[in-house]
Amino acid sequence: MFHSRSIEYKDPVGAVPAGTAVHFRITLPRDLSCSAAQLIVEQEGVGYLTSDMFWCGMNGDDREWWECHFTPEKAGLYFYYFGISTNRGNLRLSKGDFGKAVLGGTERWQMTVHSPDLETPEWLLGGVMYQIFPDRFACSGETKENVPAGRSFHSDWFDQPEWRPNQQGKVTNSDFFGGDLKGVQEKLPYLKNLGVTCIYFNPIFESHSNHRYDTADYSKIDPLLGTEQEFSELCNAAEKLGIRILLDGVFSHTGSDSVYFNREGRYVGPGAYQFQSSPYFSWYSFRSWPQSYDCWWNFETLPNVQETDPSYDNYINGREGIVRKWLRAGAAGWRLDVADELPDEFLDSLAKAAKSEKEDALVLGEVWEDASNKSAYGVRRRYLLGGQLDTVMNYPFRDAIFDFLLGREPSVFAETVESIVENYPAQSLHLLMNHIGTHDTERALTVLGGEPAGGREREWQSAQSLSPEQRELGKKRLKLASLLQYLLPGIPCLYYGDEAGMEGYRDPFNRACYPWGNEDQDLLSWYEGLGKLRTEQKSILAQGGYRTLLAEGNLLAFERFAETDNGTDSLILVVNRSDCVQNVPRHIFPEERLEALLGENLTARQSLLPFGFSLMKFHQVPEESHEAGKTS
């Protein structure tokens, strides 16, 4: 009766710019004797709008078409359903599974309407992102000066990160391995060979923990990593290889051991913990100064800031602020930590600052759910409607990939992906940070091959490594997971060391040092091939469309496609997640003009081996009308 993801029923499908006339069509059984139909739309926060639909002909012998146009005038979320008057009374067409309609029900379809001025950076399109945890990727071996006190250093690069509490029962995260910016610069050819076009750094500013999410001074590179000059040199060297640098902005809180708060008294200047006359005092919310204050998730070492405080906003987003400073130094954009904890006003200000400094600066937010309809702290967010985030980290795709490979119904994968494709503006969709592992999650190889950690403590996690059988299974699944990751809409983000076969449960075991000289060469070669695939098929993968072809049993198939001047170029991927041979339905592939790119050639056989896959390419030419002498 209606399918929101089909151009036959809604044109255009997906998110639209404000002011776009959207054509809606429903097809109803003739025996309902429909006498009137309406499209009923709620613009969230504004009210309901009703559009009468018009009868427009028969659809075969027993169905009829009703249609109308609706033009959303302003950016926002619009939720809609259909009302019909029939011989059974007034009925409702509501959203069912996979965007299709059901009679009755209460669910509504979502239509995302964004600003007509929404533009996102083009330099990342079709690329590959690589996430680096700075202390653990590569060490140049050069001696550093002015390293703050209170840090311990591992003499062996292959040590396990420290996880045991100290004598006070606290885990301080103060052990370091000495990874630095020059070490990264030395490895740029390695990253180039992986097809990397963007490096995403976890925080690099002065901080007193190895993760550096407890910022001590936003204006300085951590001395253990290098200097501001070395940062600019890295950016310049990377850009010559077609690689740009994305920085982590931790703006919802600072460290208590910082020039701004200075609870530990490390710094000379007056921190907010020491003096109410401090220039930073208004940044923080004290319940009872100085001992009791608002802090991030109750960690007393991470005092929250009031982002809308004019002094703080100016310090971060002002003309001489932090955002602009590091863009001028060579960064290409910002990844925003816990974006859902940053108020809209602050995000507006930050995006404006970034785009004013560099028109093509990337602003990417950490959001774990569907960012198009995310609510945080009682407020519906407008991340992707224009003027805020260009795009987000894509946790829904990660969950969908793992769920599919570990046994969940493949239809769940299809619905997750199609829902995101439908809800996100195309400009944001094509830049999604598609990761399957980060510093916040277990290593992908461990998830796919190992025993779930569940609620087990760090002592159990620290002692675990994959058995040969588990590792082999994990590798087979990781190849399938990464293939899905690299072919879905968006930008694949490779967490450092996954390509080398690194294992590890939760923090800090997922943050070990890159195993230089001990890489899994089979996996490394696999990821190099995926990088080349992204480059070779960029015309399709950068901004191409997506559709699910099959999601049943142990099989998943989808198509990426792009229109050309003389037809359509398509990539079709079929994946068998099981340890048994699976027969593939013939209708998945067209009969001719097929080119086998990776995996098994399904033109030669109609089945996939255990954990097998097939990636095929074909070009479809429009059928020509020989009588008329023109393309039909």
* Burial status of residue 190 (CB atoms within 10 A of its CB: 0-12, 13-18, 19 or more): middle
Q: How far is CA 488 from CA 369, 405, 536, in A?
A: 17, 15, 15
Pairwise CA distance, residues 456 & 459, whole Å:
8
Residue type, 397: F
Q: Which two tokens stand for residue 249?
A: 């902005």
Pairwise CA distance, residues 518 & 180, whole Å:
20
Pairwise CA distance, residues 90 & 314, whole Å:
56
- Which residues are paired to 23 by β-bridges? 11, 69
- Which residues are paired to 569 by β-bridges? 562, 619
Are the C-beta atoms of residues 64 and 37 closer than 8 Å to each other? no
Pairwise CA distance, residues 397 & 416, whole Å:
7
Q: Which residues are catalytic?
A: 337, 366
Pairwise CA distance, residues 251 & 342, whole Å:
8
Are the C-beta atoms of residues 253 and 295 closer than 8 Å to each other? yes
Residues contacting residue 66 through CB under 8 Å, at least 6 positions apart: 25, 26, 27, 28, 34, 37, 53, 54, 55, 56, 84
Reported residue count of the chain is 632
Are the C-beta atoms of residues 384 and 378 closer than 8 Å to each other? no
Element (H, E) at 310: helix 310-317
- Which residues are paired to 199 by β-bridges? 130, 245
> Can you spell out the DSSP letters for 29-73?
EGGG---EEEEEEEETTTEEEEEEEEEEEESSSSEEEEEEEE---
- Which residues are paired to 68 by β-bridges? 24
Pairwise CA distance, residues 443 & 450, whole Å:
10
* Burial status of residue 325 (CB atoms within 10 A of its CB: 0-12, 13-18, 19 or more): middle
Candidates 178, 181, 316, 340; CA nearest to 245 is: 181
Tell me if residue 218 falls in helix, strand or coil: strand
Main-chain dihedrals φ then ψ at residue 300, nearest 5 degrees? -70, -15
Query: Strand 109-114 relative to strand 16-17: parallel, antiparallel, unpaired?
Result: parallel
Query: Strand 89-95 relative to strand 101-103: parallel, antiparallel, unpaired?
Result: antiparallel
Pairwise CA distance, residues 175 & 55, whole Å:
71
Candidates 208, 284, 210; CA nearest to 252 is: 284
Pairwise CA distance, residues 452 & 522, whole Å:
25
Considering just the CA atoms, what is the radius of gyration of the chain in Å? Answer: 27
Main-chain dihedrals φ then ψ at residue 545, nearest 5 degrees? -75, 175
Tell me if residue 505 falls in helix, strand or coil: coil
Tell me if residue 522 falls in helix, strand or coil: helix
Cα of 620 vs its chain's centroid, Å: 31
